[in-house]
Amino acid sequence: MPYIPHTDADRAEMLATIGAQSIDELFREIPANLRVAPGSLDLPPALDEHRLMAHLWEISKKNVNLADVTCFLGAGIYDRYIPASVGAVISRGEFLTAYTPYQPEASQGYLQAIYEFQTMTAELYGMDLANASMYDGATSMAEAAIMSTSIKKRDKVAVSEAVHPHYRQVLETYCWSMGIEIVVLPALEAGATKDYSTAEGVSSVIVQYPNFFGTIEDLAAARKAATEKDALLIVVADPVACALLKTPGSFGADIVVGEGQPLGVAMGLGGPMVGLFACKKEFIRQIPGRIVGRTKEAHGDKPGYVMTLRTREQDIRREKATSNICTNEALMALAATVYMIALGKNGLKQVATTSVRNTQYAIQQLTAAGATLKYTGKSFDEFVLELPKDPTFVRDELLKRNILAGLPLGPYYATLTKCLLVAVTELRSKDEIDTFASALAEVLK
């Protein structure tokens, strides 16, 4: 839609129509001390369209462009190949501009797409059912934790230290507002959760699979610990890894959540994302967000799709809601759906297998270049390197060589100040890994 500015006459006519004397009158309920006084903002002078675009272009150059650098940065958002079919489908007007499909008779196409998304998510995670997407992986995990407190009637959850730090920050924010206590399970010594002894009186045990360090957690041990504590097992699972590894559902996970960005969603400077949420069928009445169901027409066998089992309280009586999430990331869920259809089971498994092979080769080459592998357990996609020099310095020096090396872990873990988290996806070639290793050897001299 083109931008059409209003003239003074336009504004006067609109104000007269609604019976207001001025624009300020529209905000009369906001206390004067909370309003910004006219002229008090220190704004630069206005620019015409050409100069504004040139200004924005200069600002954009400050961002790291993955067309110019080789990306070994992961930590929750991954540089994976996106088939052209994804962009072709989600850019269609009927999908791109669609809102929540409240009217099923007018939204069968979108409802079916969401239904397929749910089906594939549930199958990928080995679970009974999935909902119609959440905001992102972090809020999905927080919603799962809150759901567990409702089911178990305990205001306490346990989360592994090896769960993504940002996810745990979101969890803390949600739990703080609801008076829920968080117990952190130690994991740094071996790069995986080993001690569940402090998880007493909790409603759920939360682990990541693979975890933040790329290590593949022992879900059998996590399931055993959760059962002993009479708690739910919540698994934060990488969907691509689940195409190759045993599914969380096969270990008896109660709730599985994750980030769907690796499934055909562009990195986009950190968003938008798409949260995944699946659970056992006995928890269907407690699941947050929306579920699309398949049914039949009243006068025939033609299939139809509708939003079902929705708790209207989350839209109206918020204090009685199972969750206050009232929208979703349907466009990104559609991107994930198209991606999974385009690749199929074999294609997604090949993506995961290639990532593992590239990861193992990168570990071999980078350790030969002077780094030390911090954790030696089985890993997927990511691993932690301990460096003889400051990781932030190393990262910055490698960026000068057009290599985005990874994430320094010092700001997140006080004992890992010498460590760098490196991600290797199916896109990284042998030449790119060799170039990274050669440049790392030079920087570490």
Write down the pLDDT at residue 312. Answer: 56
CA distances 132 to 45, 93, 316, 328, Å, are 45, 21, 20, 7
Write down the pLDDT at residue 318. Answer: 65
All structural domains of the chain, each given as residue ranges with its CATH number in brackets, are 70-82+344-443 (3.90.1150.10), 84-339 (3.40.640.10)
Write the pLDDT tens digit of every residue in 43-65.
888 899 999 999 999 999 888 88
Name the band, by pLDDT with cuts 50, 70 and 90, for residue 93. Answer: confident
Check residues 39 and 142 and name the one with the higher pLDDT: 142
Name the band, by pLDDT with cuts 50, 70 and 90, for residue 327. Answer: low
Question: What is the mean pLDDT of the segment spanning 92-97?
Answer: 86
Q: Does residue 113 register a pLDDT over 90?
A: yes
Write down the pLDDT at residue 315. Answer: 60
Question: What is the mean pLDDT of the segment spanning 294-315?
Answer: 79
Write the pLDDT tens digit of every residue in 336-368.
999 999 999 999 999 999 999 999 999 999 999
Pairing of strands 70-71, 403-404: parallel
Q: Does residue 438 register a pLDDT over 90?
A: yes
Write the pLDDT tens digit of every residue in 170-184.
999 999 989 999 999
Write down the pLDDT at residue 412. Answer: 97
Question: What is the mean pLDDT of the segment spanning 101-114?
Answer: 87
Q: Does residue 1 register a pLDDT over 50?
A: no
Amino acid at 307: M
Write down the pLDDT at residue 289. Answer: 83
Closest to 321 in 3D by CA, of 277, 286, 276: 286
- For residues 100, 237, 83, 341, the Cα torsion angle rounded to the nearest 10 degrees is -70
Residue 61 tokens read as: 């150059």
Write the pLDDT tens digit of every residue in 293-302.
999 888 888 8
Q: Which 3 state secondary structure label does DSSP give 71?
A: strand
Q: Does residue 314 register a pLDDT over 60?
A: no
Pairing of strands 204-209, 156-160: parallel
Contact 242, 249 (CB under 8 A): no
Closest to 263 in 3D by CA, of 375, 166, 183, 342: 342
Write down the pLDDT at residue 133. Answer: 73
CA distances 332 to 274, 303, 328, 346, Å, are 6, 25, 9, 22
Q: Is the pTM of this model over 0.75?
A: yes
Q: Does residue 325 register a pLDDT over 80?
A: no
Q: Hey, CA dihedral for 161, 163, 166, 168, is it positive or negative?
A: negative
**Residue 160 bridge partners (DSSP):** 185
Q: Does residue 326 register a pLDDT over 80?
A: no
Q: What is the mean pLDDT of the chain?
A: 93
Q: Does residue 257 register a pLDDT over 80?
A: yes
- Percentage of the residues of the chain whose pLDDT score is greater than 90: 77
CA distances 136 to 122, 295, 428, 429, 445, Å, are 17, 28, 25, 29, 41
Question: What is the mean pLDDT of the segment spanning 269-278?
Answer: 91
Write down the pLDDT at residue 43. Answer: 86
Q: Does residue 370 register a pLDDT over 70?
A: yes
Quote the longest CA-to-CA distance of the chain.
Answer: 76
